[in-house]
Amino acid sequence: ETGVTQTPRHLVMGMTNKKSLKCEQHLGHNAMYWYKQSAKKPLELMFVYNFKEQTENNSVPSRFSPECPNSSHLFLHLHTLQPEDSALYLCASSLYRGYEQYFGPGTRLTVT
């Protein structure tokens, strides 16, 4: 399936690095989301964008910085991360907020 794509699929970065995660949806959706899923833990919603505007930030540390240039693209800029930030980062989109979400394959991030 190529509805929602994410790059890179795997990322290893040091605590002083700066990197970005990219998400693209080809579904014509208007809402996009970032989630974090740590090992054996439930999904944690990080950010919500609706028609390119950020509508939700669930107390995410400032070392995570989202960007949504248009309804099809979503970025997560990372800087000075901590080892506990190692997790699977999932992007999702939905036609409108509150509608069923479709997920990308995720970026597995390891912070060393």
Partner 1 sequence: RKEVEQDPGPFNVPEGATVAFNCTYSNSASQSFFWYRQDCRKEPKLLMSVYSSGNEDGRFTAQLNRASQYISLLIRDSKLSDSATYLCVVVYTGTASKLTFGTGTRLQVTL
Please give the residue ranges that form the binding site for partner 1 (CB under 8 A). 42-43, 45, 55-56, 88, 90, 94, 96-106, 108
Nearest CB to partner 1, comparing residues 81 and 90: 90
Q: Give the burial class of 75: count Cβ atoms within 10 A of its Cβ; 0-12 exposed, 13-18 middle, 19 or more buried.
A: middle
Give whole-number Cα distances, 103 to 15, 25, 93, in Å.
27, 9, 7
Give the shortest CB-19-to-partner 1 separation in angstroms: 20
State which residue, 35 or 64, has the beta carbon closest to partner 1: 35
How many degrees, rounded to 5, is the angle at CA 25 between CA 84 and CA 106?
25
> Which of residues 71 and 105 has its CB atom nearest to partner 1 in the complex?
105
Report the residue number, 3 or 61, with the smaller CB distance to partner 1.
3
SS3 call for 22: strand
- Token pair listed for 36: 């974090």
Q: How far is the CB of 46 from partner 1 (least distance, A)?
A: 13
What's phi and psi for 72, nearest 5 deg? Answer: -100, -15
CB of 69 to partner 1, least distance (A): 23
To the nearest whole angstrom, how small is the minimum distance from the Cβ of residue 42 to partner 1? Answer: 4
